[in-house]
Amino acid sequence: MVEEISFALSEEQQMMQDTIRQLVQANVIDAIHQWDENRQLDKQTVQKFWELGVIQSMIPEEYGGYGMGSSPVLHTIILEELAYGDMAFAVYAMLPALFVLPVVHLGSTEQKGKYLPEFCNESYIPATMAVNELSVGFDIWNCETKAEKKGSSYVLNGKKCFVPLADEAKYMIVVAHYEGNPHLFIVDKEVKGLSVGEREKNCGWWALPTFEVNFENCLVPESNKLGDELAINWLLQRTRTAMAAIGTGISRASYDYAKKYAKERQQFGEPIASRQSIAFMIAEMAYEVDAMRLLAWKAASAIELKMDANRESFLAKIYAGEMTMKLTDYGVQILGGHGYIRDHPVERYYRSGRSIAICEAMAII
């Protein structure tokens, strides 16, 4: 008997994909250019996403959530649709999951009871994660932010960058080096020794505020250590898969816009899509978007099946990083001079897409 591998979405997955796609088409596509120019998202649109209950569904019923579980495959589908509208919107909307899911999967009963109920309210609750450091890049195992045990507390010292919504987030999960391995710590924003720097001036995701965060003798209770030394592997498998899904969404948006433009743009009495060089780029964009999606789904499926997804998630993220750069560049090329004008979204796709290859744990579980 031959077993089939199905790539068809389940009824739940299809319904969620349609819902997110409709929300993005109705509220993001036409508005994101102005949000990007203003360096600020519309929080009412973020609230509309919150009211769909995606974050609340991840939280068990005993803590006030919907108790529907946290399917990595479903989250991958959601992230692609959100990123199709804009990467900044995707990260902003799903940012609370960066805090909620690690607490759900790695947290103690005490931690779950203390933090999760806050994220079951009717209004969007910002929370974030501090992972990236300018000095170490991808080498998270040698991060320079250190944790030192002192009595019944940990003392954190170091500096993080690219921390989304650090100015608003009530809580953040911080990756710090302790006893030879990176560990996760829950840090309250109001804790003494934590300071948020000025908003960073990034190449892309202008509508998403990111900040440098400094920890100077920051005292964290022993009870705020999250998981053990293996927690970082759990985290990276999910964030890398999430970045792959976001790259897929950005690349698909670039492909759709460039294809439409090429069919409509006339030169020498015919659409430029009929020119072989343009047609080849459009064809390559089409199959590479599908390849990126399949790698992201494969990684998400491995995680969902509780397999070791280190290899799958790494391949998905690396491939998405390379292809997102390439395909968003194709989008600019196909539009020619118009691709460099901010009236068209392909330059924004290009700026945002560059971050897929260089940011670790910037995205959503």
Here the contacts of 48-55 (C-beta below 8 Å, separation 24 or greater) are 48/23, 49/20, 49/23, 49/82, 49/93, 50/93, 50/123, 50/124, 51/122, 52/19, 52/20, 52/23, 54/16, 54/78, 54/94, 54/97, 55/94, 55/96, 55/97, 55/100, 55/119
Note the pLDDT tens digit of each residue in 215-271. Answer: 999 999 999 999 988 899 999 999 999 999 999 999 999 999 999 999 999 888 899
Q: Is residue 207 included in any domain, yes or no?
A: yes
Please tell me whether residues 252 and 303 are part of one structural domain: yes
Note the pLDDT tens digit of each residue in 179-223. Answer: 989 999 999 999 999 999 999 999 988 999 999 999 999 999 999
What type of residue is 319? Y
Please give the full DSSP string across 235-260, using - where no structure is assigned: HHHHHHHHHHHHHHHHHHHHHHHHHH
Q: Check: CB of residue 90 under 8 Å from CB of residue 82.
A: yes
Q: What are the phi and psi torsion angles at 97 (to 5°)?
A: -65, -25
Q: Check: CB of residue 168 under 8 Å from CB of residue 189.
A: no
Q: Which residue in the block uniquely carries the two structure tokens 């199959």? A: 287
Note the pLDDT tens digit of each residue in 11-52. Answer: 999 999 999 999 999 999 999 999 999 999 999 999 999 999
Please tell me whether residues 242 and 278 are part of one structural domain: yes
Q: What are the phi and psi torsion angles at 345 (to 5°)?
A: -80, -10
Please tell me whether residues 155 and 265 are part of one structural domain: no
pLDDT score recorded for residue 70: 84
Q: Check: CB of residue 68 under 8 Å from CB of residue 233.
A: no
**137: pLDDT confidence band, cut at 50, 70 and 90?**
low
Q: Is the pLDDT of residue 5 over 90?
A: no
- CA-to-CA separations, 192 to 13, 207, 291, 363, in angstroms, rounded: 43, 29, 47, 27
Please tell me whether residues 209 and 253 are part of one structural domain: no
274 is written with which tokens? 């009929």
| Catalytic residue of the set 80, 288, 347, 360 | 360
Please tell me whether residues 169 and 113 are part of one structural domain: no
Q: Check: CB of residue 181 under 8 Å from CB of residue 232.
A: yes
**68: pLDDT confidence band, cut at 50, 70 and 90?**
confident
Q: Are strands 146-150 and 194-199 parallel, antiparallel or unpaired?
A: unpaired
Please tell me whether residues 160 and 219 are part of one structural domain: yes
Q: Tell me whether residue 360 is one of the annotated catalytic residues.
A: yes
Please tell me whether residues 248 and 345 are part of one structural domain: yes
| 3 state DSSP class of 226 | strand
| 3 state DSSP class of 151 | coil
| Domain boundary residue, one of 209, 226, 243 | 226
- Which residues are 160's β-sheet partners? 213
Q: Check: CB of residue 92 under 8 Å from CB of residue 83.
A: no
pLDDT score recorded for residue 197: 96
User: Over the chain, what is the mean pLDDT?
Assistant: 93
Note the pLDDT tens digit of each residue in 154-185. Answer: 999 999 999 999 999 999 999 999 998 999 99
- Which residues are 28's β-sheet partners? none
Q: Which domain range does residue 315 map to?
A: 233-357
- Half-sphere exposure of residue 329, counting CA atoms within 13 Å on the CB side? 7
How many Cβ atoms sit within 10 Å of the Cβ of residue 197? 15
Q: Check: CB of residue 284 under 8 Å from CB of residue 323.
A: no
Structural domain count, the chain = 3
**151: pLDDT confidence band, cut at 50, 70 and 90?**
very high
Q: Closest by alpha carbon to 240, among 153, 310, 159?
A: 310
Q: What are the phi and psi torsion angles at 220 (to 5°)?
A: -120, 130
pLDDT score recorded for residue 4: 56
Q: Is residue 39 included in any domain, yes or no?
A: yes
How many Cβ atoms sit within 10 Å of the Cβ of residue 282? 17
Q: Is residue 194 included in any domain, yes or no?
A: yes
237 is written with which tokens? 């498998």
| Domain boundary residue, one of 211, 226, 241 | 226
Q: Is residue 179 included in any domain, yes or no?
A: yes
Please tell me whether residues 151 and 112 are part of one structural domain: no
pLDDT score recorded for residue 140: 78
- Rg of the chain over Cα atoms, rounded to whole angstroms, equals 21
Q: Is residue 4 included in any domain, yes or no?
A: no
d(CA 117, CA 212): 28
d(CA 31, CA 28): 5
- Which residues are 159's β-sheet partners? 214
Residue with the bigger pLDDT between 329 and 132: it is: 329
| Domain boundary residue, one of 103, 120, 137 | 120
